Structure 1
Amino acid sequence: MRLKLLLLLISIPLFTTIQGFAQPTEIVYLSGTDADNTVEWDFFCTDGRNSNSWTKIAVPSNWELQGFGTYNYGHDWSNENIKLGKEHGLYKHEFEVPRSWKGKTINIVFDGSMTDTKVKINGKSAGEMHQGGFYRFKYDISKLLKYGQTNLLEVDVAKHSANESINRAERQADFWIFGGIFRPVVLEVLPEVHMSRTAIDPKADGSFNVLIDLNESKSDLSATVELFDLGGNEIGTPVQVEIEKGKQEVWVSGKFSTIKAWNPEWPTLYNMKISLKKGSDVLHEVTERIGFRTVELRKHDGFYVNGEKVLFKGVNRHSFWPETGRSLSDRNHIMDINLMKEMNMNAVRCSHYPPDKRFLDLCDSLGLFVLDEVTGWQQGYDTIVGPKLIKETILRDENHASVVIFDHGNEGGWDFRNEKTFHEYDIQKRPIIYPWLLRNGADTHHYPQFDYAIGRYIYGNDPFMPTELLHGLYDGGHGAGLEDYWRNYQTSPLHAGGFLWVFVDEAVLRTDKPETVYDGDGNHAPDGILGPHREKEASFYTIKEIWSPVQVEPVAIVKSWNGRLFLSNKYIYTNLNQCTFKWEAVKTGLSPEDEKQLGSGTIESPDAKPGETAQVEIALNNSLENADVFRFTAIGPHGEELYSWSWPVIQPADKAKELLAELNTGSSEISLKETEKSVTASVADVAIEFSKADGTLLSVKNGKGNVSFTGGPVATGVEHEVTGTEWKMNEDGSFGFEITNKNYPRKITWTLEKSGLLKLVANPLRDRVSDVDFVGISFNYPEIKCTGVKWMGSGPYRVWKNRLKGNEIGVWEKEYNNTITGESFENMVYPEFKGYHASLFWATLETTESPVTIISETPNLYFQLFKPAKPQHVAGGTYPAFPEGDISFLYEIPAIGTKFYQTDRLGPGAKKGMFSERRGDESYPITLWFDFRAK
């Protein structure tokens, strides 16, 4: 099919020019612009699905996601039981070239093609085969084109390379291996005499150096540099330099005195227009969007940007979307950057290859530091292709303000001899790091355990930042342990930050399956903070709180609180007086929508520079007197919520008293019925059967029928032995049942009130215990009968001992789901229903029978709600222990580990519990009220 070309003059990327000026670079798309806007080309796949016949394919795309070829994960090469797809994709596309282009330089540009790529124009080779799947490459096809006629483009793309170092670097890796032309293909139309390269080094003080490469220099020329803000207003005075005939490399230097420096908190950008002239005639103009900033790695100190020491709060990001693989769109890029910014991140590592150029454009404008990485998972390119691909990376990405570091491969994916290419081409002289090495003045060791290392990291002599930290397999890593690591690292002046592994679960849609299946290749790819479609896991909010650039110093808030908070400024470039702060005091109800605001306001933003702590005082005006919860929200200078903290104003016992005033009413006579093995106490519409042997609930009935809440209380987490039971009618007409135990809890007392409420008091811990995962009491309830839960406490996500932050106090509700984090890709519902929950005040189980309400009087009580299903491919410490019962009330819960570590290597917050009591301690029993009455 013959397609007319639309000439697109674009102002930012692909090749930045300003529309409407004389002699700009013209960009013509032969493909679509991105994965959301594709163009069909003719296509032939040589092997695998839908092979050996010509058809159509969307370009750009990865052909596996379009129904062709063979899916492979990067480890498949070593598994003889898995077919390693080595198919080729053959592409054809016709395009027209206007006669007016004759005499100009026409380049065909591929932004990314996996991997060995041969290009023909009208049956003739455009140049040598390009090797390397993640890089921009181009051919001058001016002499191959038919001007004013239809031209034929033919492309042969081999999924695997003829160069074994490329296969080792790119194809034998811990990520999905795709094939195809997955980034745009364009024609670059340049004037006869033009600038082939415009490399810019703009410093924070407004000074700059520009390197201009000319394609030819047959006469005297000049170059002019002008600067404009994004509103089109000219900044300063143009700088001009004369170019002598025969000179093809030109440097232009100058300074613009009124600029604002770029940083991720204030990402100020400018358009720098560079004009090549012959006399007064403009031969060629290029406009680059730039940010002025100065990057330094000061040895034995740290990374500095614009003279300020930087702490990278970052994440590793694969270019990935489940339905399109590595072929992405603006929508994907903007979503990802906004999610990173929402987590209060300021940096991203592009693992393990250069990203789409559009992603870097957006990092420039939205504000993220970028570590731009040359591919090499754990094997590096040879000295033949390596220098070429490093050069291509630099020439494409050199003018991006966001790119502050270049990574030379990953975890062994380098040849040190190739490093000189970075220094040869990068005029900004950015730091070159080696992820997982101590080299070039930076220590980037991956996955350090908490107390790493002798003579390195916090015990070392060099700036350190793990470029992969806390491997987030399933629900482990990421937020779990981050607070311990971050606090520990910040004790060292050499701490330069860290990059969590990884941003999303890389589960790809398998178009080779008859049903919808998202495949994470076992436990190789489900490592994300987010699900494959960017579903937010609990760690998302934990990171958001821990990395908030405003931190609230620890404070206990009670009704008599004086309203004073201490705010620490963890920004790099922003004063707290540029932020805003608001607060509210609320009274909770029995549902989230029943909440009532009792007081609210804003406070005057304090004057606190980065690194300073300031006190603020809130005029509460008695608003806490009847409140349950106090909330405080920090809002950044651009209107973004940094975090909203909450504190309970009341104790669980106070809330229980308030609720019981309404619930513990009514008075009916209690009747007893005994059998050989049980005693049943009945009142109103409730009949509760207790085991004579151990006091556990044998059955519960109300006016609607059975309530299947049974089998407890059973002590869990410690050894125990029932030594006696006793029951009686109390003087006030209530029924009492007492259980004594050899160990914890030494005594448990049931009391059935005449209202029908059932009270349980389990004595606190008295004996020394250590190395416990959990300790408390458990009950049983059939999971199949539970439809939802509503509760007051910390929520809405489940917690682990080493991941308590990110949840807030309030009233929450969620429907039953069986989500397995990092695995339930076909039905991924968050927050997960099952697991541990913190700071219980009360909870109502919604069931197919009748609701069961439990009210706690015990502070800091954990509430276990069933057991999450075990993932199929558990590794390390990613599936912690759970009590035997279905519903548990606990003093202690376990931490969660990572893919590589059990919890004993992840810091103090992950250690197992221990307790000892001294005689006279006034500890807290587990005191619960159960309402089994029909509603």
Structure 2
Amino acid sequence: MSYRTTPSVDYVEDVSPGSGALPPRAWYASSDARSLSLNGSWRLRVSATADAEDESFAEEGYDAGNWAEVTVPGHWVLQGDGAFGSPIYTNHLYPFPVDPPYVPTENPTGDHLRVFDLPTDWPSDGGAVLRFDGVESCARVWLNGTELGEFKGSRLAHEFTVGELLKPGRNVLAVRVHQWSAGSYLEDQDQWWLPGIFRDVTLLHRPAGSPGDFFVHASYDHTTGEGTLRVDSDVEGRVTVPALGIDVATGEPITVAVEPWTAETPRLYDGVLATEGERVPLRIGFRTVVLEDGLVKVNGRAILFRGVNRHEWHPRHGRALDLETMREDVLLMKRHNLNAVRTSHYPPHPAFLDLCDEYGLWVIDECDLETHGFVEQDWRDNPVDDERWTPALLDRAARMVERDKNHPSIVFWSLGNEAGTGRGLTAMAEWIHGRDPERLVHYEGDWNCRDTDVYSRMYASHEEVAGIGQRLDGGTHKRRELPFIQCEYGHAMGNGPGGLADYQELFEKHERLQGGFIWEWIDHGVEHAELGYAYGGDFGEELHDGNFVCDGLVFPDRTPSPGLIEYKKVIEPVLIEGDGTNGTVWVTNKHDFADLSALAFEWSCQVDGETVESGSLAVPALAPGESAEVKLPEPPVDGRGGERQWTVRALLADDTSWAAKGHVVAWGQFAAGARPLPSIPATDRPVRDGDRITLGPAGFDARTGALLSIGGVAVGAAPRLDVWRATTDNDDGAEWQTDTRYGMLWRTLGLHRMRHRLVSVEAGDDALTVRTRVAPAAREVGLDTVYRWTSDGERLRLTVSVTPEGDWTVPLPRLGVRFGLPEADRVEWFGGGPGEAYPDTRAASMVGRWQSTVDGLQTPYVRPQENGARADVRWVELGGLRIEGDPEFWFTARRWTTEQLDAARHRTDLTAGDTVWVNLDHGLHGIGSQSCGPGPLPQYFLKAEPAEFSFVFSTTE
């Protein structure tokens, strides 16, 4: 066979989906047909252009011994320590000129070779297909020197008939993969551009008489409790479901009593589709999805999505995920009360959908389509409105639907994401509605709902969502009759997202609002030896969007972030409220389907944050939506007169498939009495001795009034007013936003470089008073600040009074004092914990006694920023000091200054110093979600207005 020395690469820029691949079909694992995984070590040669090398590498006997070795599934740019190029991150800008369907001549191309031995017992009947589950972005395939075809559609499965080409013993599979192709214009999906064969490659035996495709239809009638099963197959056979006594021919319906499948009760029945040539295992879930009364209903009930968007990601392997990593995702979701996932912005590995079926998650399965970069030219030349591209769009829709149609977890097919509007999307919707009328169609970009069954938006503000819930949003007649979901909200970038509880309150208040999906699941940090985790720009990209790729509820190593802990609390399926003064608890079941029989309830009583007694609480097995009033026991007798509170938890009563017995599902906490505030009489007077003033246990600088020590504890930097925080991603906002971005305004005003002018130091009869003015350079605004120190001889009280001067048009980032301690490690506090909290992210902050180290207080955001505050702190002990607040305060401690934190781009930029910097804050500005969505609600603004707050210092020795 001869090979072209200058290979034809016209297919790379062809708008067609490819040639040679078989029609799409259902994905399944056979019970008895052979398969051979071709995953593992492959040979790789990377060229700079699509036509740099001829096609002789596909010829049998080609010597690739000097080629590199890479692992498949995998991305070549994440292997070889940069020898094969680097990742590229863009949010929506195409990293190549927008000139569809053309792509640059500089087109990294990876030639892959896999030599494999066909097992000696491989059936010799000639029936076999070669399956690729994911290749980015365009592939051309040869087996034993014969070309099979080429394909596009990176996150979609493609199969080729190869039975007649297989040989006993040695076989050679050759795959040429191009990073850029016409298909790249359809895959602009806010993620790393990572070329390679990143999902499984499998050789499948297809016995004569085996089903090429089949469709499981399993509906449920909630009025009778019966399910109807019909399995359509292109090859006749029989369907058996032993647990239901079913034995029926394919194509014939049968109705029996069943337990339905829901995300809360994911009942699956094991069955078998048996044809002449093969037995195919089935996992059948009976459920019916309808649009009825303007609502999405499953099995007769409206559902509320408590969801998340999920890109596939691993910090070392990119989008090449193994089964256990996928399982870890699902288990984390279930353990944090999530009930839904949108597969942004492409169909996931099919094994992930198996897990959603098994453990119970509603799924919006999204097509491998996004053309967001065309927004830069007002959607001119957008492929979805160009009929030349329609076959490719329909191919992508069909490959999603046909592959995944037998998963009961899928309730919506999504046409894609951020692709504008156009005829191609309409064609996709019409085909999907015709092929699978038993599910609904979603697409956020269709605001008029011409093609969709739900009104979907992303990052709508709380105000707009409230209006939609009240049907005050207008729109087309069809849209006004449809339910609403936020397919993206709560942008989980860095510290945040804030305002989730306020959104959830709206979702639960208005029937039309059926929940939403947080953006997104995981930070896409790339593991990096020098930077910890790399993000956009760290690989020298020409265009990039920085750390916008790190916007997940879990960190790259899948450690839950404070945002996930907060979301778990906000969406918990059991509401526990109480009145601690009369010992009454109200429990409400917020599940859509499950009663509370799987939960056990326990109470505990705390005094000053320490549990003094606990026990079980009898709560009836409430049906969904039901509430009950339950009495707590008599409060325990305790001689201490401290602060009392009740905590009630809902726990798993037994082990489940996703969590162990005792796992906390929900909790509530309520005070049983007011907190006694710290009170010390001002009995001591300041005494000056040379350049030092003594007041009780403290020493001050006589000239400046700066605190030098308390007892035997040296103060490295005296407390003084602090209003700055290292801006969060949400403070900074997004560059395209026209809304107020406070991070930028704070810097413009100069709040990051405040100057402190000493006005006076006054040693009175009972107090040391230090008057200052704190203001930014070049501005007229300022904060008149008075520090008043008093003592009873053993303890020291600081009262800070702040009066704004000038026209303050922006809120403050924080308001409190900052000081430094030369030594501190162990920290104990009574207040909110165990993790961080801010004004609009504090739902999960539980009041109690907590311990940590200073290092343990830090939240390791991929891009360093303000973090680690603890809310509602009554007192804290560290570095030999005990600090009590009047009123409660926010507490932060770290081994670097706010300025150092603000300047850091990666965690490795932060180096611990000799001082522990402590912030005691009277107030903090809210967090919001403005890294992509709305900023904090007005009630979470920290306004510049008169304030007074106090702290009481004493030593712990």
Match of 2:88?
73
**Pairwise CA distance, 1:786:** 4.9
Deviates more, 1:150-159 or 1:200-209: 150-159
Mapped contact 1:799–1:835 kept (Cα < 8 A): yes
Match of 1:896?
927
Unmatched 5+ stretches in structure 2: 1-25, 54-63, 98-103, 221-225, 373-382, 474-479, 538-545, 725-750, 774-781, 907-915
Match of 1:600?
614
Deviates more, 1:57-66 or 1:538-547: 57-66
Deviates more, 1:201-210 or 1:783-792: 783-792
Say if 2:295 is the partner of 1:302.
yes
Distance 2:438 2:458 in 1: 25
Distance 1:932 1:625 in 2: 25
Match of 1:314?
307
Per-residue deviation, residues 342-363 of structure 1 (Å, max 9, x unmatched)? 2211001111111011111111
Say if 2:952 is the partner of 1:929.
yes
Match of 2:850?
812
SS at match of 2:602: strand
Q: Please tell me the residue identity of whatever aligns with 1:256.
A: V
- The aligned runs of 1:437-452 (5 Å cut-off) are 437-438=446-447, 439=449, 440-452=452-464
Distance 1:671 1:725 in 2: 11
Match of 1:203?
219
Mapped contact 1:599–1:623 kept (Cα < 8 A): no
Q: Among residues 142, 146, 162, which one is paired with 1:120 in the alignment? A: 142
Q: Among residues 896, 907, 910, which one is paired with 2:937 in the alignment? A: 907
Change (3 A) 1:856 1:509: closer
- The aligned runs of 1:391-470 (5 Å cut-off) are 391-412=398-419, 415-420=424-429, 422-423=431-432, 426-427=435-436, 429-438=438-447, 439=449, 440-452=452-464, 456=468, 458=470, 459-460=472-473, 461=480, 462-470=482-490
Change (3 A) 1:687 1:404: closer
**Pairwise CA distance, 1:283:** 3.5
With structure 2 as the length reference, what TM-score do the two structures score?
Answer: 0.77
Q: Among residues 507, 520, 545, which one is paired with 1:502 in the alignment? A: 520
Say if 2:791 is the partner of 1:752.
yes
Say if 2:349 is the partner of 1:356.
yes
Distance 1:41 1:776 in 2: 55
Q: Please tell me the residue identity of whatever aligns with 1:804.
A: R
Mapped contact 1:62–1:178 kept (Cα < 8 A): yes
Q: Among residues 694, 699, 705, which one is paired with 1:688 in the alignment? A: 699
Change (3 A) 1:574 1:690: same
Sequence identity of aligned pairs in percent? 22
Q: Among residues 678, 682, 688, which one is paired with 1:673 in the alignment? A: 688
Say if 2:55 is the partner of 1:27.
no
Deviates more, 1:906-915 or 1:426-435: 906-915
Distance 2:814 2:458 in 1: 37
With structure 1 as the length reference, what TM-score do the two structures score?
Answer: 0.78
SS at match of 1:870: helix
**Pairwise CA distance, 1:520:** 4.6
Match of 1:642?
665
Match of 2:127?
105
Change (3 A) 1:317 1:26: same
Match of 2:505?
487
Change (3 A) 1:619 1:289: same
Q: Please tell me the residue identity of whatever aligns with 2:322.
A: S
Per-residue deviation, residues 778-834 of structure 1 (Å, max 9, x unmatched)? 444237755453221112333222112111111223333499867547xx9xxx995
Mapped contact 2:721–2:815 kept (Cα < 8 A): yes
Match of 1:194?
210
Distance 1:317 1:906 in 2: 24
Change (3 A) 1:158 1:475: same
**Pairwise CA distance, 1:120:** 1.7
Mapped contact 1:394–1:425 kept (Cα < 8 A): no
SS at match of 2:117: strand
Q: Please tell me the residue identity of whatever aligns with 1:907.
A: L
Mapped contact 1:817–1:833 kept (Cα < 8 A): no
**Pairwise CA distance, 1:225:** 1.5
Mapped contact 1:64–1:70 kept (Cα < 8 A): yes
Per-residue deviation, residues 486-506 of structure 1 (Å, max 9, x unmatched)? 223433211011111111111
Q: Among residues 532, 549, 552, which one is paired with 1:525 in the alignment? A: 549
Per-residue deviation, residues 239-284 of structure 1 (Å, max 9, x unmatched)? 136xxxxxxxxx2321232x211111111111221222xxxxx443
**Pairwise CA distance, 1:113:** 1.6
Distance 2:855 2:409 in 1: 41
Mapped contact 1:314–1:499 kept (Cα < 8 A): yes
Unmatched 5+ stretches in structure 1: 1-12, 19-23, 32-38, 215-221, 229-233, 242-250, 277-281, 590-594, 730-734, 875-884, 917-923
Change (3 A) 1:99 1:321: closer
Match of 1:366?
359
Mapped contact 1:575–1:607 kept (Cα < 8 A): yes
SS at match of 1:543: helix
Change (3 A) 1:345 1:670: same
Mapped contact 2:289–2:298 kept (Cα < 8 A): yes
**Pairwise CA distance, 1:586:** 3.2
Distance 2:172 2:815 in 1: 75
Change (3 A) 1:83 1:575: farther
Say if 2:73 is the partner of 1:60.
yes
Say if 2:172 is the partner of 1:152.
yes
Distance 1:91 1:397 in 2: 30
Mapped contact 2:718–2:820 kept (Cα < 8 A): no
Match of 2:253?
253
**Pairwise CA distance, 1:890:** 4.0
Match of 1:544?
568
Distance 2:806 2:621 in 1: 49
Per-residue deviation, residues 459-505 of structure 1 (Å, max 9, x unmatched)? 3423111111122221132xx11111222343321101111111111
Distance 2:571 2:328 in 1: 19
Q: Among residues 388, 401, 420, which one is paired with 2:395 in the alignment? A: 388
Distance 1:835 1:152 in 2: 55
Change (3 A) 1:715 1:418: closer
Q: Please tell me the residue identity of whatever aligns with 1:406.
A: W
Per-residue deviation, residues 693-740 of structure 1 (Å, max 9, x unmatched)? 7xx434226446x322514478999999999765445xxxxx533568
Match of 2:736?
none
Q: Please tell me the residue identity of whatever aligns with 1:641.
A: V
Say if 2:185 is the partner of 1:168.
yes
Q: Please tell me the residue identity of whatever aligns with 1:392.
A: R
Mapped contact 1:769–1:915 kept (Cα < 8 A): no
Change (3 A) 1:778 1:109: closer
Distance 1:771 1:930 in 2: 34
Match of 2:727?
none
**Pairwise CA distance, 1:413:** 6.1
SS at match of 1:800: coil
Change (3 A) 1:411 1:316: same
Per-residue deviation, residues 168-211 of structure 1 (Å, max 9, x unmatched)? 122x4421111222111222212212211111110123102221
Per-residue deviation, residues 524-558 of structure 1 (Å, max 9, x unmatched)? 201111111112221111111110001123x453x
Q: Please tell me the residue identity of whatever aligns with 2:136.
A: M
Per-residue deviation, residues 7-41 of structure 1 (Å, max 9, x unmatched)? xxxxxx962334xxxxx43322222xxxxxxx212
Distance 1:799 1:132 in 2: 42
Mapped contact 1:391–1:425 kept (Cα < 8 A): no
**Pairwise CA distance, 1:74:** 4.7
- The aligned runs of 1:207-226 (5 Å cut-off) are 207-214=228-235, 223-226=237-240
Q: Among residues 876, 888, 903, which one is paired with 1:843 in the alignment? A: 876
Match of 1:622?
636
Mapped contact 2:706–2:718 kept (Cα < 8 A): yes
**Pairwise CA distance, 1:157:** 1.9
Aligned length: 810
Match of 2:708?
699
**Pairwise CA distance, 1:429:** 3.0
- The aligned runs of 1:227-238 (5 Å cut-off) are 227-228=241-242, 234-238=243-247
Distance 2:338 2:458 in 1: 19
